[in-house]
């Protein structure tokens, strides 16, 4: 069978969805972060696929930036997790509910 970009896009959509489900379902903040990374990877895959399909390097440039920003985000996010752990000694997301109205 022919392998069109559709397969790549479908795979990326599936990974994205799995990542989204994981984010919603898991309670450990570190694992929630990893699910975010999954979603970002799915987006990167999509960009590269489209870059190939449209014959445009801009997609890959964007992936580059997504990578960098994801890295920065992880750095800051884990910093927040550490700080929070120092105060509350928990990595369970459900314990951070002081915004409850």
Compose the 14-53 pattern: x for residues touching another protein by CB under 8 A, - for all others: xxxxxxxxxxxxxxx-xxxxxx-xx--x--xx--xxxxxx
Q: DSSP string covering 22-68, please?
A: HHHH--BHHHHHHHHHHHHHHHHHHHHHHHHHHT-THHHHHHHHHHH
Q: Tell me the C-alpha distance between 101 and 98, whole Å.
A: 8
Q: Least separation, in Å, of the C-beta of 13 and another protein? A: 4
**Site for another protein contains 54 (CB under 8 A):** yes
- 52-58, long-range: CB within 8 Å, 24+ apart, which pairs? 52/5, 53/5
Q: Least separation, in Å, of the C-beta of 43 and another protein? A: 11
Report the site for another protein in 71-90 (rule: CB under 8 A). 71-76, 78-83, 85
HSE-CB for 99 with a 13 A CA cutoff: 3
Q: Least separation, in Å, of the C-beta of 36 and another protein? A: 10
Q: Least separation, in Å, of the C-beta of 55 and another protein? A: 5
């Amino acid at each position: 069978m022919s392998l069109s970009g559709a397969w790549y896009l479908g795979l990326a959509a599936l990974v994205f969805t799995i990542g989204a489900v994981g984010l919603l379902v898991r309670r450990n903040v570190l694992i929630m972060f990893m699910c975010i990374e999954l979603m970002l990877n799915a987006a990167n895959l999509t960009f590269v696929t489209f870059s190939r399909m449209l014959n445009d390097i801009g997609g890959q440039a964007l992936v580059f930036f997504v990578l960098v920003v994801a890295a920065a985000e992880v750095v800051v996010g884990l910093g927040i997790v550490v700080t929070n752990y120092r105060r509350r000694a928990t990595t369970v997301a459900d314990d951070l509910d002081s915004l409850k109205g």
